[in-house]
């Protein structure tokens, strides 16, 4: 997606540039002087490119602009933060509760949003059981959000087991980042 936006940007720039050159070329109706040399771009600057959104916001936008962003942009820099879990556990810990309280506040501010909570596991368990464990993590996060007043019908859960690690490394730091409930905004 980022690549596509970049390509569109480049193509637009080229088109606008070319159009600018061509516009400068037609002869001007003046009787006496010989035709001027082909104008360079300096004589007639190309039209400014069409304003485009940054493909990736350089930093988190102020919350007021959140509502105006596309789903992809929202998810790329999501106001909903992931919750992490202890090994082989689906219990939301203290840190997780803090994060979920923040997420619940965001969801209350944008009551039309519908989200999917993805439950993920690290690679150390078996791939098959991790599919069940991931679901349980997603459900734990959902249950806590609902207890904070988020409408249950807005929150779906799905488990990816250990199939999509956030960090592919095979050590404790990565494992900690991979045991997570990840929030995806699916409608706004």
Dihedral sign, Cα of residue 52, residue 56, residue 57, residue 58:
negative
- Please identify, using beta-carbon distances, which residue of 75 and 154 lies nearer to another protein: 75
Alpha-helix residue ranges (DSSP H) falling in 42-126: 71-76, 94-109
User: Shortest distance, CB of residue 127 to another protein, whole angstroms?
Assistant: 6
Residue number with CB closer to another protein (47 or 88): 88
Q: How far is the CB of 132 from another protein (least distance, A)?
A: 4
150 DSSP 8-state letter: -
The nearer residue to another protein, 96 or 119, going by C-beta atoms, is 119
Q: Tokens 């400068």 identify what position?
A: 24
Distance CA 69, CA 132 (A): 34
Q: Which is nearer to another protein, 21 or 114 (CB)?
A: 114
In the complex with another protein, the residue whose CB is nearer, 132 or 148, is 132
Length of the chain: 188
- For 25-118, where are the alpha helices, taking DSSP H only? 71-76, 94-109
Binding site for another protein (CB under 8 A): 1, 72, 75-76, 116, 124-129, 131-133, 135-136, 156-161, 163-164, 182, 184, 186
Q: How far is the CB of 179 from another protein (least distance, A)?
A: 15
185 C-beta neighbours (distance < 10 Å), count: 20
Nearest approach, Cβ of 95 to another protein (angstroms)? 22
What are the tokens at 175?
Answer: 């494992």
- Minimum Å distance from CB 157 to another protein? 8
Q: Do 103 and 183 meet the contact criterion of CB atoms below 8 Å apart?
A: yes
């Amino acid at each position: 997606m980022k690549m596509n936006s970049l390509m569109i940007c480049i193509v637009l720039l080229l088109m606008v540039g070319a159009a600018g050159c061509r516009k400068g070329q037609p002869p001007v109706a003046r009787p006496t002087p010989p035709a001027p040399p082909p104008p360079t771009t300096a004589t007639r600057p190309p039209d400014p490119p069409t304003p485009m959104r940054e493909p990736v916001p350089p930093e988190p936008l102020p919350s007021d602009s959140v509502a105006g962003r596309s789903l992809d942009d929202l998810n790329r820099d999501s106001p909903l933060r992931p919750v992490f879990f202890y090994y082989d556990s689906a219990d939301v810990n203290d840190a997780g509760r803090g994060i979920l309280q923040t997420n619940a506040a965001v969801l209350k501010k944008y009551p039309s949003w519908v989200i999917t909570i993805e439950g993920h596991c690290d690679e150390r368990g078996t791939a098959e059981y991790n599919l069940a464990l991931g679901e349980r993590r997603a459900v734990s996060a959902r249950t806590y959000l609902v207890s904070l007043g988020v409408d249950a019908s807005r929150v779906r859960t799905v488990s990816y087991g250990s199939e999509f690690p956030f960090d592919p490394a095979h050590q404790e730091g990565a494992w900690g980042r991979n045991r997570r409930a990840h929030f995806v905004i699916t409608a706004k």
